[in-house]
Amino acid sequence: MAHKLILTEVTDCNGDGKTDIADVEWLIRNDKNVLTKLRNGSFDSKECVALLEEADIVVTNPPFSRFRDFVALLMKHNKKFLIIGNLNAVTYKEIFPLFKDNRVWYGPSISSGDRKFYVPDDYELRAAGCGVDDKGRRYIRVKGVRWFTNLDHGRRHQPLKLMPMADNLKFSKHKEVRGKAAYDRYDNYDAIEVPYTDAIPADYTGVMGVPVTFLDKYCPEQFEIIDAREVALYDKQKGKNTYLIKDADGTIGGKPTYARICIRKKQ
């Protein structure tokens, strides 16, 4: 059963001499007017949409299976938000244009690895990495998550420090780049393949295919995100209707590559 939590004021409820999250927890346990049941807890129900319309900022972990619908609802109601989603959600055709147009971006505090999520006491711990911490709280670990947000932050405006193409080909720590005569090019896109974000050549002005994780370091003043269909070499009417190079869609020497975002350096 879903609940709604309504707080208009938080004071030192537990008498420990300070006002913090512990007082919020005290209110939830002791004030029946603070926590009430929702008749329909679905985020797109009339009851929840009414609550959404009152909100200034939405902070939550929406159901990954309905991530597209949840973001669409937030955008429709012009809400500021900070939500957790799977890294690869950016490849969805409904989500990628929001990144491309700088209407949504990644938050700054999660950029790699998995994250721990606490779950109810009756939640079954089936997957590897689940457990119980030293305080008896049950948790699961979820890989490849990111904050998705439209709240601006300073880190997204810090340009990447990169080497020129010649230096990358000579000194890159990545064997896929170091020692080659030139960067690989796609068979079916007018772009070069850049397999690692730190191997992006600082002096290249053409279109580059970069990993999805590039968005962790994306500075909109330094690069622009390109619709991959604009640089596709195949028949655009017959080609896949995707904004980025999807897995197995872009090939090099006939071999498929990983999902790539197309970017170009700003002049």
Asked if 179 and 132 touch (Cβ cutoff 8 Å), the reply is: no
The pLDDT value recorded for residue 110 is 87
The pLDDT value recorded for residue 127 is 78
The pLDDT value recorded for residue 124 is 87
pLDDT (tens place) for every residue of the chain, 267 residues total: 677 888 888 999 999 999 999 999 899 888 888 888 888 878 999 999 999 999 999 999 999 999 999 999 999 999 999 999 999 999 999 999 999 999 999 998 888 878 888 888 888 888 778 999 999 999 998 889 999 999 999 999 999 999 999 999 999 999 999 999 999 999 999 999 999 999 999 999 999 999 999 999 999 999 999 999 999 987 665 566 689 998 888 899 999 999 999 999 998
Sign for the CA dihedral angle at 94, 100, 104, 105 comes to: positive
pTM for this prediction: 0.86
Tokens 């927890």 belong to residue: 25
Burial of 183 (0-12, 13-18, 19+ CB in 10 A): buried
The pLDDT value recorded for residue 41 is 79
The residue type of 152 is: D
Distance CA 183, CA 195 (A): 10
